Amino acid sequence: MILLILDYDNTLGDTYGPYGEGNIFRTKTLSDVTKATEIYEKYRRWPDDILVYQKLIEELQIKNPEQFFINNWMPKQLFPDVIPFLKSLQMRKDITTVVLTAGDEIFHSMKVKISGVTDLVHQVVVTRIRDKSGMIQRLHAHYQPEHTIVVDDRINMVWTDFDFPITIYEMDRAHKKEWPWIIHKLDESLISKI
pLDDT, one tens digit per residue, over 18-53 is 999 889 999 999 999 999 999 888 887 665 556 678
Measured CA to CA, the distance from residue 26 to residue 95 in angstroms comes to 39
**Domain region containing 28:** 21-74
Domain CATH number, residue 82: 3.40.50.1000
Number of domains comprising the chain? 2
Residues 63 and 130 in one domain: no
pLDDT at position 50: 60
What pTM, to 2 d.p., does this model score? 0.91
Same domain? For 89 and 128 the reply is yes
Give the pLDDT of residue 54. Answer: 84
Q: Give per-residue pLDDT as tens, 135-186.
A: 999 999 999 999 999 999 988 888 888 999 999 999 999 999 988 889 999 9
pLDDT tens digits for range 78-130 = 999 999 999 999 999 999 999 999 888 889 999 999 999 999 999 999 998 87
Three-state SS for the chain is CEEEEECCECCCECCCCCCCHHHHHHHCCCCCHHHHHHHHHHHHCCCCCCCCHHHHHHHCCCCCHHHHHHHCCHHHHECCCHHHHHHHHHCCCCEEEEEEEECCHHHHHHHHHHHCCHHHCCEEEEECCCCCHHHHHHHHHHHCCCEEEEEECCCCCCHHHCCCCEEEEEECCCCCCCCCCEECCCCCHHHHCC
